[in-house]
């Protein structure tokens, strides 16, 4: 086996291994994400859930409103198959979930709002499912660069093969001048 064929075979095996690992990771993270996303939007359980994606300062009137809550707020207009929007307060923690997004049916990645009212300056944290964000990270960091590298290597190999074939044909066949 010549070195060029060995490197090609090694590249293909590596590419298959990386793609296989990425596919396995996608499957595992998707299954984990289904359960994690379902638990993210439930009214029961701990209020601090998911991972913090972003946060913003809470306006004073918002903090006062949340501090004054004595019972949970539940949106009664949600369909029976959908988790209704709610604001749930437990001690000094608040969880906010909105089931009716402005992007409607295209929404696939749920977020919740979390507030710790005991903080010196309460902030509204936007939290979401860790597995789904890891899934996006895998796609951005590993899969796209592998695809781009694969295209570049394939182009290089095809280009070299075409150039070599043309050189071979030029040197092996005598040229005859064509009358103009």
Radius of gyration of the chain (CA): 28
**What pLDDT is stored for residue 17 in this prediction?**
84
**What pLDDT is stored for residue 106 in this prediction?**
46
What average pLDDT score do residues 130-146 get?
Answer: 77
pLDDT beyond 60 at 125: yes
Strand partners, 120: none
140-176 residue pLDDT tens: 777 777 778 878 887 888 888 888 888 888 888 776 6
**What pLDDT is stored for residue 178 in this prediction?**
64
User: Which has the higher per-residue pLDDT, 61 or 39?
Assistant: 61
Distance CA 5, CA 3 (A): 6
Q: Helix 3-40 vs helix 130-138: angle between axes, to the nearest 10 degrees? A: 160
State the SS3 of the chain. Answer: CCHHHHHHHHHHHHHHHHHHHHHHHHHHHHHHHHHHHHHHCCCCCCCCCCEEEEEEECCHHHHHHHHHCCCCEECCCCCCCCCCCEEEEECCEEEEECCCCCCHHHCCCCEEEEEECCCCCCEEEEEECHHHHHHHHHHHHHHHHHHHHHHHHHHHHHHHHHHHHHHHHHHHCCCCCCCC
22-36 residue pLDDT tens: 788 878 888 887 787
Residue 127: exposure state from Cβ atoms within 10 A (0-12, 13-18, ≥19):
buried
67-114 residue pLDDT tens: 998 888 887 765 565 667 888 898 889 988 887 655 554 456 778 889
Give 152's contacts (C-beta < 8 A, 6+ positions apart). none
Distance CA 69, CA 67 (A): 6
Contacts of 76-82 with C-beta under 8 Å, sequence gap 24+, read none
So where are the chain's domains? Answer: 26-133
């Amino acid at each position: 086996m010549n070195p060029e064929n060995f490197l090609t075979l090694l590249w293909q095996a590596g590419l298959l291994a990386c793609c296989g690992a990425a596919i396995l990771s996608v499957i595992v993270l998707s299954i984990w994400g289904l359960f994690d996303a379902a638990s993210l939007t439930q009214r029961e359980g701990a209020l601090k859930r998911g991972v913090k994606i972003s946060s913003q300062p809470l306006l004073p009137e918002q903090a006062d409103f949340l501090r004054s809550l004595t019972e949970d707020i539940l949106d009664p207009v949600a369909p029976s198959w959908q988790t209704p929007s709610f604001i749930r307060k437990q001690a000094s923690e608040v969880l906010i979930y909105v089931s009716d997004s402005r992007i409607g049916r295209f929404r696939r990645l749920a977020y919740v709002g979390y507030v710790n009212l005991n903080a010196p300056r309460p902030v509204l944290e936007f939290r979401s499912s860790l597995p789904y964000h890891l899934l996006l990270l895998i796609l951005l960091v590993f899969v796209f660069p592998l695809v781009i590298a694969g295209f570049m290597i394939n182009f290089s190999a095809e280009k070299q093969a075409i150039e070599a074939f043309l050189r071979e044909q030029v040197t092996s066949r005598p040229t005859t001048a064509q009358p103009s």
